[in-house]
Amino acid sequence: MLSFEEAQKQPHAFVAGEADIIVVGAGHAGCEAALAAARLGRRVILFTMTLDSLANLPCNPNIGGTAKGQIVREIDALGGEMGRLADQHMIQFRMLNATKGPAVMSPRAQINRTGYQRGMKRVLESEPLLTLIQQEVTGLLIADGNDKRIVEGVVTATGSLFKAPGVILCPGTFLDGRVIIGDSVRSSGPDQLAPSCGLGDVLTELGLPTRRFKTGTPGRFHRRSVAVEQMEMQPADGEARPFSFEHEDDPAWKPAADLACYITWTTERTKKLLSDNIDRSPLYSGVIEGIGPRYCPSIEDKIVKFPEHTRHHVFIEPTGLDTQEMYASGLSTSMPEEIQRAMLETIPGMEKAEIMRPAYAIEYLCVDPTILELSLEVKGIEGLFLAGQINGSSGYEEAAAQGLIAGINAVRRQQALEPLVIDRSEGYIGVLIDDLVTKGTNEPYRLMTSRAEYRLLLRQDNADTRLSPIGHEIGLLPEERWQAYLRKQQAIDREMNRLSELRVRKSELSDAVLTAAGSTPLKVTTRMHDLLKRPELSYALLAPLDPERPDLPVSVRESVEIQIRYEGYIKLENDRVARFRKLESKRLPKEIDYARIKGLRLEARQKLSDRRPESVGQASRISGVSPADIQVLLVYMEQWNRQEPGPCRTE
Amino acid sequence: MYSADMETIAAFSTPPGESGLAVLRISGQQAGAIADQLFVPSSPRFPRPSEMEGYTLAHGIWGGIDEVVLACFRAPHSYTGEDVYEVSCHGGQAVRQAILDSVFAAGASPAGPGEFSRRAFFNGKMDLAAAEAVMDMIGAQAEKQAQVAFQQLMGGVSRMIHERTDHLYGALARLEMLMDWDEEEERPEDRQQLLSELEESENALRKLADSFASGRVIREGLAVVIAGSPNVGKSSLLNALSGRDRAIVSSIPGTTRDTVEIDLTLDGYLIHLTDTAGLAIDSPDPIEQEGIARAESALGGADLILWVLSPPLLPIHERRLEEDRISRLLAEGKKILLVLGKDDIRLTLPPEEDPALYASERFPDLPTITWSERFEEDLGRLKDTLIGFIQNGTLISRTAAQIAGRQAADPAELTGGDGVQSGSVSEGKGESRSIRNADAVASLREAARRDDEGQSHAVLTHARHKACIDRAVELVNRARGDLLSGFSYDLVAISLKEALTELSAITGDDVSETLITKIFSRFCIGK
């Protein structure tokens, strides 16, 4: 691989541009990365294969959902873009799990796809330090330093050189993409877009371990041909809630539309058809080699793996305001078109569905993410960052979160600042990145709330409390947002104090209110704070006993209520976090020679030498490192620290 | 000071094995509070443990279990630099187990490998030179613990734990599925279903806790019956087990000439030993038949049967009768340990006369032990196997097939089962390094080489497992209560995940990954 200097000496070399940071790929990861870097004051070039298709939603037409909704709120709390745009192009809002507890309450929105894309283009174009260029990047410029390599820029398909000391790769499923429908296998990105073919070889040449993952998407059908009136309707929530804290409690904000989704079911005939033709599925015939996600099986997969299920549900979802295309969640398949058509005839309401885009599977190249630092920089290659599906994740939200962090850290690397690492107790962003980097993944990785150890703390309602101070500190959160955040926190504190001082006396009124709510009447005067903890009561139900109650925004009421009602459990989780932090804060110097630490088991020595974790806490999550190994490491670190002044050991 | 050590830890600091006295060490901030809960002084002039000054002694009863002397060492003037209480109790295995269990139930955690020394190092009680010795100690003890745990897991404990915890994984997988993948809001029938699944999980775990605690066996004793045809060495086995043990409680001649019953203690555990005679003979004699009936009845009540098989082998048709009887007992769920007697002459026999080969053909998987009254170590191994059985409800031993296949194995391998009590880590650890520093370092190294720091790994491993299971039961019970009182799913899940995390200390599961695998294998999820 050439350095910039070497490339420049080649015949007809042309230096077409220079920036502080180059971002390759304008999907959800690339857009967030480029925006974050530009907003932090760096000159950024964002490359895309086509300017007409950036920030695409080529699969499900929604943003948010369990764990994903929380992460969109976190992106917003740090100063990212996804939440604000999703709010502007929201065409249906639902709060999932509203009855299952605050830890898992998750906002989800159907999105007007082309509106979102155009909106993102406008945002990118209006960013002063950001340049958008339609060109395919096919090579990297890398210089050999003393003990590490240093990224210096990129080469495009036309041979132009672009110089930059920071490069963030976000090629997504375009990287060596292969689209598969039945026996048809074509080199392609999603939505018939051209794949990215040169970068895969670059990764191999850099010595990065790669593999192929697979994902898939169902077909799109013309609305007039889908008999939604025969299906169960799933309407939008009565009250829509924005993702962005900027739109929270803003009376002017409302979603672009309140469209409905519809539910139908596959039948025994669907099952028989697919079983009879299973040999035609590329999944089972061996055409598909990539590893698919367990949480997103194709319909033929579901039928093979769960033969006892007689039917599977299908959600029919709108994909926008300017299109008649409907998405059929649940019908992802890589069966040949002939079978896809026959399958529709077996599903009530879909019998006459016109296929506008057939379902397909897509295979792509990605990297084993354990080669990354928690900052998302590639170990041993200074200035090169990876974000999004290239790291083995899947999902728009997961990609956006990584892009944001990679963008921030590419800047901090150039400013010689400590990288921003969100830990597992601070956000799903931390859970996501730590899972990928520390544990690795064998399938396209999707966030789930069950992956979080401190789920009750990582709620959608408090994403700002958790992360906005960080967004402010690193300079990404605009000042007016920070002021609004401070006002909201004050309001929450004031109301919490008021409720803990407010005493409710036993009276005819209190007896009546409590009895009506199915609760027991008071025996003694009780603080409102304590009344709120009864599971059968709520802030709203207790209003009649609280005549002085101020008129507060929904977000403040929600935060107050959750913090009081779950106080005991939240305190327990905070205690666990305190213990977790102790190990996270024990940094492991990069120069440790694990092979020489006595008492470590062989497997632990190898794993630790290989991965070089950043803290004792991270080491403890590497598979193959036992609790006893961690104790040995702690003693070793204590010995190291007592050996002042230098970190040298004698033996 | 290493402030992450918020937990109070406990372990015995005297070597394992039968001894007059044993010393339990409790170290940490809660040590005094724990002692307050369990210690009843024999005289009002003794202060409450938490109010004792440094280096004070008190006499009293510990947890209603044993008469003890309690010593207090106030921080920082103790081995670890923390508050340390030492309980000197009687040395029997059962007493030690009960006292350890009581301390864990009161809130202490089992000490990790080398943990007392590690804390001492962190609290500045040892100088830098001790660091490597401490690391060696941790490594050696962890290795030893892993061996003990591995032996127990090989012995069937693992399968039992996995079966019992599977219910719990199933229940939490359902709950997580409902939270992460179900688009609809809560349905009353889901809560009902979860409640019944949790009830099932709790019952399964309680059964596990019961089998683990061997509470009944510790209280009432283990019923062991010696069986086999005449002249195989049953009586000498009985005599060896009882006669060489000083702690015979009583000796009661059987009410018929055909059974002899003896009560004895082994490492503090009570054992009812019954010797049956004439069992395998099909006799028309009414007295013999009466004897057979009594033997059958003894076998029916046995917790463990020692079936003795010795050369010369029986005639073919009698052999078949004996095989039928063993098969029938196994089918009834009886635990049988095959004892290959007269082991001293076994190697001189032709293959067709070798009971090991015979047993390996007919009962290849039966736990088997070789025994000769002429080999002292055989008796030790038999006792260890019995103690292991009391502690774990499981026979940890080789099988008949393994013995037949390894006739020429060296003695170290033949006594492999002994590791539970006395095994040693390979010599040479730390030997290459020079020892220049204080006595503390030398003694640490010695302990690392001996690998025990005074702890009995079997007792500690057992107590650790029991403590985990007890806490898991408590957490599942709390989750069930929360579910009943209408708490939301997310809160219920916290307790359940904690319960599985407790159990993962035994099974080594990655809870999060195992759970996700269960969710995807049990529920059809996806868009």
Cα–Cα distance for residue pair A38/A164, rounded to 1 Å: 14
- pLDDT of A390 > 80? The answer is yes
Chain A residues 39-98 with CB within 8 Å of chain B: 60, 66-67, 96-98
Mean of pLDDT values over A504-508: 93
Share of chain A above pLDDT 90, in %: 92
Nearest CA in chain A to B176: A450
Cα–Cα distance for residue pair A312/B526, rounded to 1 Å: 10
Minimum-distance CB partner of B490 among A100, A629, A636: A100
pLDDT at position B285:
66
Across A218-354, where does the E strand assignment appear?
A: 220-222, 232-234, 261-265, 313-318, 325-329
Task: Read off the tokens for B315.
Answer: 């005639």
Neighbour tally for B60: CB within 10 Å:
16
Minimum-distance CB partner of A104 among B145, B485, B490: B490
Work out the minimum CA distance from B214 to partner chain A, whole angstroms. 28
Question: Counting every residue, how long is chain A?
Answer: 651
Taking CB atoms and an 8 Å cutoff, what residues of chain A touch B143? 601
For B78-132, the pLDDT digits (tens) are: 999 999 999 999 877 778 878 888 898 899 988 888 889 889 888 888 887 788 8
| Sign of the alpha-carbon torsion through A21, A26, A29, A33 | positive
Helix then strand then coil, % of chain B, to nearest 5 = 50, 15, 35
Cα–Cα distance for residue pair B59/B63, rounded to 1 Å: 13
pLDDT at position B454:
42
Mean of pLDDT values over A6-28: 96
B331 touches chain A (CB under 8 A): no
Under a CB-based contact definition with an 8 Å cutoff, are residues A199 and A354 in contact? no
Residue A495 phi/psi, 5° resolution?
Answer: -70, -35
Work out the minimum CA distance from A101 to partner chain B, whole angstroms. 5
Chain A residues 313-352 with CB within 8 Å of chain B: 315, 329-330, 332
User: Mean pLDDT: which of A161-165, A513-517, B87-91, B222-226 is highest?
Assistant: A161-165
3-state secondary structure of B87: strand
pLDDT at position B281:
53
| C-beta atoms of B179 and A332 within 8 A | no
Chain B residues 71-110 with CB within 8 Å of chain A: none
Chain A residues 590-609 with CB within 8 Å of chain B: 597-601
**Average per-residue pLDDT for chain A:** 95
Minimum-distance CB partner of B131 among A60, A448, A639: A639
Distance set, CA B417 to CA A5, B213, B271, B397, B459 (Å)? 68, 21, 20, 6, 15
Nearest CA in chain B to A642: B128
| C-beta atoms of B4 and A631 within 8 A | no
- pLDDT of A327 > 50? The answer is yes
Neighbour tally for B216: CB within 10 Å:
12
pLDDT at position B335:
86
CATH for B9-126, options being 3.90.550.10, 3.40.50.2000, 3.40.50.10300, 3.30.1360.120: 3.30.1360.120
Distance set, CA A636 to CA A490, B115, B274 (Å)? 45, 14, 55
Neighbour tally for B361: CB within 10 Å:
11
| C-beta atoms of B516 and A628 within 8 A | no
Beta-strand relationship, A149-156 and A381-382: parallel
Mean of pLDDT values over A260-280: 96
| C-beta atoms of B490 and A634 within 8 A | no
- Tens digits of pLDDT across chain B (527 residues): 344 467 899 998 877 665 678 899 999 999 999 999 999 999 999 989 999 887 789 999 998 888 999 999 998 889 999 999 999 998 777 788 788 888 988 999 888 888 898 898 888 888 877 888 888 888 887 777 777 666 655 555 666 777 778 889 999 999 999 999 988 888 999 999 999 999 999 988 887 777 665 545 655 678 888 888 877 877 788 888 876 443 333 334 333 356 777 777 777 677 888 887 655 455 666 666 666 777 777 888 888 999 988 888 888 888 888 888 888 888 888 889 999 888 888 778 888 888 888 888 888 888 888 888 778 788 888 888 888 787 766 777 777 777 776 443 333 222 222 222 222 223 333 333 333 345 656 666 666 555 444 445 555 666 777 888 889 999 999 999 999 988 999 999 999 999 999 988 877 788 888 888 888 888 887 65
Give one DSSP letter per residue of A42-85, joined into a string: --EEEEES-GGGTT---S-SEEE-TTHHHHHHHHHHHT-SHHHH
pLDDT at position B372:
84
Helix (H) or strand (E) holding B328: helix B316-331
Mean of pLDDT values over A91-102: 96
B527 touches chain A (CB under 8 A): yes
Cα–Cα distance for residue pair A185/A363, rounded to 1 Å: 10
pLDDT at position B208:
77
Under a CB-based contact definition with an 8 Å cutoff, are residues A633 and A600 in contact? yes
Non-local CB neighbours of B444 within 8 Å, separated by 6+ positions: B117, B126, B130, B133, B134, B136, B137
In this predicted complex, what is the ipTM? 0.90
CA-based nearest residue to B198, from B225, B158, B180, B171: B171
Pairwise pLDDT comparison (A559 vs B323), residue with the higher score: A559
Work out the minimum CA distance from B141 to partner chain A, whole angstroms. 9
pLDDT at position B450:
54
Which of A71, A629, A635 is the best residue to mutate to test the B interface, defined by the most B CB atoms within 10 Å of its own CB? A635
Pairwise pLDDT comparison (A506 vs B162), residue with the higher score: A506
- Which single residue is written with the structure tokens 């083995």? A392
Cα–Cα distance for residue pair A506/B277, rounded to 1 Å: 79
Task: Read off the tokens for B326.
Answer: 């063993």
What DSSP designation does A260 have?
-
Which of B138, B169, B434, B475 is the best residue to mutate to test the A interface, defined by the most A CB atoms within 10 Å of its own CB? B138
Under a CB-based contact definition with an 8 Å cutoff, are residues A207 and A436 in contact? no
Nearest CA in chain A to B525: A295
CA A383 to chain centroid: 23
Cα–Cα distance for residue pair A359/A296, rounded to 1 Å: 14
User: For the whole model, what pTM was predicted?
Assistant: 0.81
Non-local CB neighbours of A487 within 8 Å, separated by 6+ positions: none
CA A36 to chain centroid: 16
Under a CB-based contact definition with an 8 Å cutoff, are residues A636 and A597 in contact? yes
A99 touches chain B (CB under 8 A): yes
Nearest CA in chain A to B496: A450
Work out the minimum CA distance from B152 to partner chain A, whole angstroms. 19
What DSSP designation does A520 have?
P
Lowest mean pLDDT among A392-396, A439-443, B73-77: B73-77
Chain A residues 199-258 with CB within 8 Å of chain B: 218, 234
| Peptide linkage before A645 cis (omega within 30 of 0) | yes
For A52-73, the pLDDT digits (tens) are: 999 999 999 999 999 999 999 9
Cα–Cα distance for residue pair A336/A357, rounded to 1 Å: 13
Chain B residues 196-225 with CB within 8 Å of chain A: none
3-state secondary structure of A162: strand
Nearest CA in chain B to A584: B4
Q: Band of the pLDDT at A442, cuts 50, 70, 90?
A: very high
Mean of pLDDT values over A543-554: 94
Mean of pLDDT values over A332-359: 97
Task: Read off the tokens for B299.
Answer: 């076998």
Across A113-228, where does the E strand assignment appear?
A: 130-134, 137-144, 149-156, 161-163, 166-169, 178-181, 184-187, 210-217, 220-222
Give one DSSP letter per residue of B345-380, joined into a string: HHTTS-GGG-HHHHHHHH-TTSBEEE--TT-HHHHH
CA A432 to chain centroid: 7
Output the furthest CA–CA distance in chain A (Å, rounded): 93
| C-beta atoms of A98 and B185 within 8 A | yes
Chain B residues 477-506 with CB within 8 Å of chain A: 485-491, 493-494
Question: Which CATH number is B134-211+461-508 given?
Answer: 1.20.120.430
What is the domain partition of chain B in residue ranges? 9-126, 134-211+461-508, 221-452
- Which single residue is written with the structure tokens 């299971």? B469
Task: Read off the tokens for A158.
Answer: 């036309």
Distance set, CA B128 to CA A632, A647, B113, B116 (Å)? 14, 14, 19, 16
Neighbour tally for A370: CB within 10 Å:
18
Mean of pLDDT values over A20-29: 98
For A277-323, the pLDDT digits (tens) are: 999 999 888 888 888 888 888 999 999 989 999 999 999 999 999 99
Cα–Cα distance for residue pair A55/A28, rounded to 1 Å: 5
For A238-254, the pLDDT digits (tens) are: 999 999 999 998 999 99
Under a CB-based contact definition with an 8 Å cutoff, are residues B219 and B262 in contact? no
A266 touches chain B (CB under 8 A): no
Minimum-distance CB partner of B494 among A100, A456, A623: A456
Under a CB-based contact definition with an 8 Å cutoff, are residues B95 and B65 in contact? yes
State the Rg of chain A over Cα: 27
CA B436 to chain centroid: 39
Say which CATH class B221-452 falls into: alpha beta
